[in-house]
Structure 1
Amino acid sequence: MRDFSQDHEWLSLNTATIRKQLGAEVPLDRIIDQCAALGIRAISPWRDQVHAVGIERIAKQLRAHGMGLSGYCRGGFFPAPDAAGLKAALEDNRRAIDEAKTLDAPCVVLVVGALPGALDGKAHYKDIARARGEVRDGIAASLEYAREVGMPLAIEPLHPMQAAERACINTLEQALDLCDALDPERSGMLGVALDLYHVWWDPKLEQQIARAGRERLLAYHVCDWLTPTRDLLNDRGMMGDGVVELRKIRGWVEAAGFGGFSEVEIFSALDWWQRPGEETLATCIERHRSVV
């Protein structure tokens, strides 16, 4: 297993971690400068942040800093109540793929979606099997275009608590079953984004990480699970503050062939978003060295 104790060469920052600082929204160009000042050499930005500044400007800034991406957030949300909605989702995913290509991302992370309308409190239907079928069809269609342009897609399984409104793919096993069905040749164009917040509890995790192997492990996200958790979406913990066996799981991931970035992704409305970005980043670096 790689030794992270002496540097943070393999630390990436998902920009959600400091997109809010002292309670205020921070533009992506400022976040990039903050990361560059601390020697963080990779980020994973969110599409709305990129759009707010301008993709060409962000691409130029990344090149100027010699900074790369560990992923691009996000595509997905395939299910819809009607044909027009399904078509719109595919078109949006094509745009996400094009944006990722412009930014030279290694993959587009897919939060696949679930019951359409549930995020707004009114699901258009309750048939989760239908949603999973629409996810499969949406990924299959998007994969065709992704192959054309050479942009891998990474399915991110989300914790079952988010099965209704954000993702109806909830275990690594489910995600890999989809990968095997749609990409049986293990081409490297379809894999998974493994976010420990969502999968740490899974009794099959070690087995399924080994099953994924190097070809399927496209992104690796770290944070911690707090006890008690005060908000199931926006109360992720800083690494080392919770109950996740971070180093053990990284051992499994690296034994399976993954050698990329550990991407810190922390949604923390009650804690880390209430602090200066420099403080949060400094803590990310220290914890990356000491506990990840």
Structure 2
Amino acid sequence: MRDFSANHAALSINTATVRKQWTLDRIIEECAKREIRAISPWRDQVAQVGIDRVEQLLRRTGIGLSGYCRGGFFPAADTAGLKAALEDNRRAIDEARQLDAPCLVLVVGSLPGALSGKPLYHDIARARSEVRDGIAASLDYALQVGMPLAIEPLHPMQAAERACINTLEQALDLCDELDPGRTGMLGVAADLYHIWWDPKLGEQIARAGADRLLAYHVCDWLTPTRDLLNDRGMMGDGVIELKKTRSWMEDAGYAGFAEVEIFSEDWWSRPGEEVLDTCIARHKTVA
């Protein structure tokens, strides 16, 4: 397993981690000051600054991407909604390509309308079918332009509103169906907040292999968790066996960034400088 203690060359910052402190241009500058080599930005943050300016800032600072957030949310209540989702995913693929991302992360969606508390249907099998069809259609375009897609399974607590793909096994089943040749263009984003609990985690990471392990997100699971969306822990403050899981990833051939992604009202309330400095320190010691 790689030794992270000497430097933070393998650290990436998912820009949601400091999204309430700074705009994306400031995040890039602050990461550059700390010699953080990679980020994973969100589309709304890119749009706020302007994609051309973000591209220029990345080029000037030498910062690369570990992923681009996000595509997905494929299910819809009608044909027009399904078409709109595919068009939005095509735009996301184009943005990821412009910024030279190694992959577009897919949060696949589930029951349409559930995020606002008014699901338009309750058939989760239908949602999973629409997810399958949406990934297949998006993969066709992704193959044309050379942008890998990374399916991110989300914790079952978010199965109704954000993602009806909830385990690495489910995600890899889709990969095997839609990309049987293992082209490297369809894989998974392994976010420990969502999958740490899975009794099959080790075997599914091994099953994925290097060509399917496209992204790796780290944080921690606090006990008790006060909010199921915005109370992620800083690495080392919770119960996830971080180094054990990274050893599984690296044994399977993963050699990419350990991307810190923390949605947390606690950490968002702190100065951004403190958050980034803590990310670096914890990356070296516990990640």
C-alpha distance in 2 between matches for 1:136 and 1:184 = 14
Residue of structure 2 aligned with 1:214, choices 200, 210, 216 = 210
Q: Which residue of 2 aligns with 1:290?
A: 285
C-alpha distance in 2 between matches for 1:212 and 1:273 = 33
Q: Which residue of 2 aligns with 1:273?
A: 268
Q: Which residue of 1 aligns with 2:41?
A: 45
Residue of structure 1 aligned with 2:252, choices 234, 256, 261 = 256
Structure 2, unaligned runs of 5 or more: none
How many matched pairs? 287
Match of 1:228, SS state, is: coil
Q: Which residue of 1 aligns with 2:238?
A: 242
Aligned 1:111-260 pairs, distance under 5 A: 111-260=107-256
Taking structure 2 as the reference length, the TM-score comes to: 1.00
Match of 1:96, SS state, is: helix
Q: Which runs of 4+ in 1 moved over 6 A?
A: none
C-alpha distance in 2 between matches for 1:20 and 1:252 = 33
Paired letter, 1:80:
A
Cα shift readout 1:154-180 (whole Å, capped 9, x = no counterpart): 000000000000000000000000000
Cα shift readout 1:108-157 (whole Å, capped 9, x = no counterpart): 00000000000000000000000000000000000000000000000000
C-alpha distance in 1 between matches for 2:233 and 2:36 = 20
C-alpha distance in 2 between matches for 1:38 and 1:279 = 12
C-alpha distance in 2 between matches for 1:59 and 1:37 = 18
CA positional deviation for 1:47: 0.1
CA positional deviation for 1:72: 0.1
Paired letter, 1:18:
V
Paired letter, 2:16:
A
C-alpha distance in 1 between matches for 2:25 and 2:124 = 39
Match of 2:150, SS state, is: strand
Q: Which residue of 2 aligns with 1:12?
A: 12
C-alpha distance in 1 between matches for 2:179 and 2:117 = 34
Match of 1:251, SS state, is: helix
Taking structure 1 as the reference length, the TM-score comes to: 0.98
1:68 and 2:61 aligned? no
Paired letter, 2:109:
G
C-alpha distance in 1 between matches for 2:236 and 2:98 = 35
C-alpha distance in 2 between matches for 1:94 and 1:88 = 10
1:77 and 2:73 aligned? yes
Cα shift readout 1:8-33 (whole Å, capped 9, x = no counterpart): 00000000000112xxxx21001110
C-alpha distance in 2 between matches for 1:81 and 1:68 = 37
C-alpha distance in 2 between matches for 1:67 and 1:30 = 13
Residue of structure 2 aligned with 1:103, choices 72, 95, 99 = 99
Paired letter, 2:284:
R
Structure 1, unaligned runs of 5 or more: none
C-alpha distance in 2 between matches for 1:261 and 1:85 = 35
C-alpha distance in 2 between matches for 1:78 and 1:247 = 34
- Aligned residues with identical type, % of pairs: 78
Q: Which residue of 1 aligns with 2:55?
A: 59
Match of 2:210, SS state, is: helix
Match of 1:12, SS state, is: strand
Match of 2:231, SS state, is: coil
